[in-house]
Amino acid sequence: METRTLRAHFDGDRILIDEPYELELDTELLITVLPKVSDEEREDWVRLSLESLARAYSDDEPEYSQDSIKEANPEYVGESC
């Protein structure tokens, strides 16, 4: 069996897998306990992500012409070259 990561949670009594997955009898498991993230910390990470995206895709981002494309992506469905 290949290694697979499954999301799970503890309900106060048992560890429950969040998605259906069939385990063979006596399958060895590793359990990683993730620390609780506070709402404040989560908001800080969201703010940082949004700020980084804003810098990467700002309003003054230059428009690149079709001439700057070196190799066209044949799977691109947007405007044709």
3-state helix, strand, coil in the chain (%, to 5): 25, 5, 65
Global pTM exceeds 0.85: no
Evaluate if residue 56 carries a pLDDT over 80. yes
The residue written with tokens 């690149």 in the block is 64
Distance CA 44, CA 80 (A): 40
Mean pLDDT value across residues 8-27:
94
The domain locations on the chain are: 28-56
Structure tokens, 64: 């690149």
Q: What pLDDT, on the 0 to 100 scale, is given for residue 79?
A: 65
Contact of 31 with 15, CB cutoff 8 Å? yes
**Higher local confidence (pLDDT), 81 or 39:** 39
